[in-house]
Amino acid sequence: MKYAVLVFAIAGFGVSSNALAADPVRVLRCGTTTGQISRTCVADPSIALGAPVTEAGDPNSPYETEYLVTMDYPCLGTATPPALFLESGTTRTPLYPSAAQQTVQAFGNGQLHVLDSSPDITRRMVFSGTCHLTVKSVTVLPSNNTIRLWTTEAKGQARIIGLARDLYLLSKNFVAIATFNREQLGVVIDATDKRVAAATTSIERRKWLALYDSLVAMRDGQPIPVPKEQVDQYLADLAAHARTDLLTEADKGRAMVQRFEKWEQAVEATLKEVLDSLPAA
């Protein structure tokens, strides 16, 4: 189940998960209301009713957002209703008048506002009784598509963190490397090979290549090409790099956890488990 936790205000209009906003806003106003008719009605598209869910508040990285808009829209008595829409990004949701208060579901990845696609026609319409569009509250939620995306990303990050954790635990235990099986040695060999490829200086590359050749020799039961003390030092360096990588990936995972928690979503289980399994040092 989804819950909205984002609360903000725009132009005095409360937007939140609350059932009722403190300050409803009138988006469609009529310039003339006499007796039982309303006319000269104009919508204001400049009023922002809600902002999309974003990555750490970055407006340049919006996610698909679900908006639940509670409103009064009693503009009745015409053959066709005004061409009003809830617009968010490129997505439009049509609005239909009703004598009763209604809640409309809309989706999009942009700010939410009301758009009149035929304002000149609306201005000439004559409505029976009162006509206005008054928004009472807006609930902002990550859409189901967004939650599925977050879950997929979290599972992928859990795998990355698990691999980084295993490498760190193996590489920091270099004094016992002679007891490693082929699979364990393979993890350290693969990590060393990546260091060889990422080396930016010839000295650095020679160091990682010497470690790589030594680990392959250990795996294959051959003499190592450099002194063991040198191999131990290189493994200690590898462990330091592995710890840095683990901390970096763990921070990314925790940011994903905060994303779930901010919107009161259940944290993806494998991500939570792997973060709970990380060593203290």
Question: Which tens digits make up the pLDDT trace of 162-174?
Answer: 999 998 988 888 7
Q: Are 101 and 133 in contact (CB under 8 A)?
A: no
Q: Which whole-number Å values give the CA distances from 194 to 75, 224, 242, in the listed order? A: 66, 20, 12
What is the pLDDT at residue 8? 35
What is the pLDDT at residue 197? 92
Residue 105 has pLDDT above 90, yes or no: yes
80-108: average pLDDT: 96
What is the pLDDT at residue 256? 95
What is the percent of the chain with per-residue pLDDT over 90, rounded to a whole number?
Answer: 64
Residue 70 has pLDDT above 70, yes or no: yes
Residue 12 has pLDDT above 70, yes or no: no
Q: Are 133 and 84 in contact (CB under 8 A)?
A: yes
How many Å apart are CA 67 and CA 59, to the nearest integer?
17
Residue position matching structure tokens 């490129």: 90
256-261: average pLDDT: 94
272-277: average pLDDT: 95
What is the pLDDT at residue 20? 36
What is the pLDDT at residue 21? 44
- 5, two tokens: 């936790």
User: HSE on the CB side for 90, CA within 13 Å?
Assistant: 0
Q: What does the longest C-alpha to C-alpha distance in the chain come to?
A: 101
Q: Which of 13-17, 220-224, 235-239 has the lowest mean pLDDT?
A: 13-17
Average pLDDT, the chain: 88
104-111: average pLDDT: 96
What is the pLDDT at residue 280? 79
3-state SS of the chain: helix, strand, coil percent to 5?
40, 30, 30
- 74, two tokens: 């009693």
145-154: average pLDDT: 97
Q: Which whole-number Å values give the CA distances from 213 to 8, 16, 122, 238, in the listed order? A: 59, 60, 78, 14
The per-residue DSSP string of 1-55 comes to -------EEETTEEESSSSS-SS-EEEEEEEEEETTEEEEEEE-TT---B---EE
- The residues with which 88 forms a beta bridge, in sequence order, are 91, 112
What is the pLDDT at residue 31? 85
Q: What is the pLDDT of residues 187-206, one digit of tens each?
A: 999 999 999 998 899 999 99
